[in-house]
Structure 1
Amino acid sequence: MEAYLSLFGFAFLAATILPAYSEVMLAGMVAAGYDPFMLWAWATAGNTLGSALNWVLGRYLLHFKDRRWFPFRLNSLQRAQSWFQRYGVWTLLLAWMPVGGDALTFIAGMMRVRFIVFFVLTGIGKGVRYAILLGLLDIIGQRIGAGH
């Protein structure tokens, strides 16, 4: 159980602005023989909840946009908001992307996307990403096991 909780924590951190790569841990756990469904469930839950933290930060951190320590430039925020308004909440299905995914979840909070809509769309995208990754790892494992 500790290993699954570690994966959950790593996946949670990976969804925030902190540098963490849950895919590496997931691959190692697959190689060690852990249950793929449990890996999928824990990684998806952790990564989705980490994105929820970004949503909360986006929702409330914007009040501090005039402060010197604010982590984003205002012109970048305005461009991101315009982009999000143009393409809408469905972009949250792409919140799993290594580049820009975390920003999408932060912007969704800034744009006051309803949390349930945010959570469902983000969770679907992240769940599909981990399912694809597990499928690829399975294919690789089969090829290595067959001596290819």
Structure 2
Amino acid sequence: MIDYLISFFGIFSSTQNQLLIMFASAFLSATILPGNSEITFTAFASQLLMNESLAFSREIITLLFIATLGNSLGSLTTYFMAKLIPPPHLTEKSKPSVKWALFYSQKYGVWVLLFSWLPIVGDLFCGIAGWLRFNVLQTVCLISLGKAIRYLILLWSINAFLS
């Protein structure tokens, strides 16, 4: 039994496996499924920061890139799925968060996607962007930029805490 547990937890020590786990967690976090990519990113980045003397080593930048890529692709999945579905007709019974996200998406346009990393409304922003047929290139750029900024702030806070 102990050999099994050691081999199971050994999966998480391999750098390649950590990147695969990070990608899967980030992708799932950006869809409707729960993934908690921030916890995964914090665990892996903390491990790397404790072993490295530089805050931006090659391994940290790779982890940051993989997390951003997975999270961005998850949000783009929501965007493209919503693009296939006609926009819902809002009624008085519609959830307030949907009304709020639609209002700000119509008011600020594609720029609202910089906040696609926010809990609950971030997924709505991506879905509404698909419904409203926002420009695909701008959507990709702003979602990716917002996700990267979020992980950079998280990395900065981890580094500040560990220093």
Same fold (TM > 0.5): yes
> If the length of structure 2 is used for normalisation, what is the TM-score?
0.75
TM-align CA RMSD = 2.1
Output one character per residue of 1:35-64: Cα deviation in whole Å (capped at 9) or x when no partner.
22111100000000000001011111337x
Question: What SS does the corresponding residue of 2:124 show, helix, strand or coil?
Answer: helix
In structure 2, what is the Cα distance between the partners aligned to 1:81 and 1:32? 40
The 8 Å contact of residues 81 and 111 in structure 1, kept in 2 or not, is answered as no
The 8 Å contact of residues 93 and 125 in structure 1, kept in 2 or not, is answered as yes
Question: What is the deviation of 1:19?
Answer: 1.4
In structure 1, what is the Cα distance between the partners aligned to 2:131 and 2:107? 15
1:134 aligned partner = 155
In structure 1, what is the Cα distance between the partners aligned to 2:93 and 2:75? 22
In structure 2, what is the Cα distance between the partners aligned to 1:97 and 1:40? 18
Tell me which of 66, 78, 83 is aligned to 1:42. 66
Gaps of 5+ in 1: 67-72, 143-148
Report percent identity of matched pairs. 33
Number of aligned positions between the proteins: 135
1:17 aligned partner = 32
Matches within 5 A, 1:1-148: 1-33=16-48, 35-62=59-86, 75-76=94-95, 80-142=101-163
In structure 2, the CA distance between the partners of 1:135 and 1:106, relative to structure 1 (3 Å rule), is same
> If the length of structure 1 is used for normalisation, what is the TM-score?
0.82
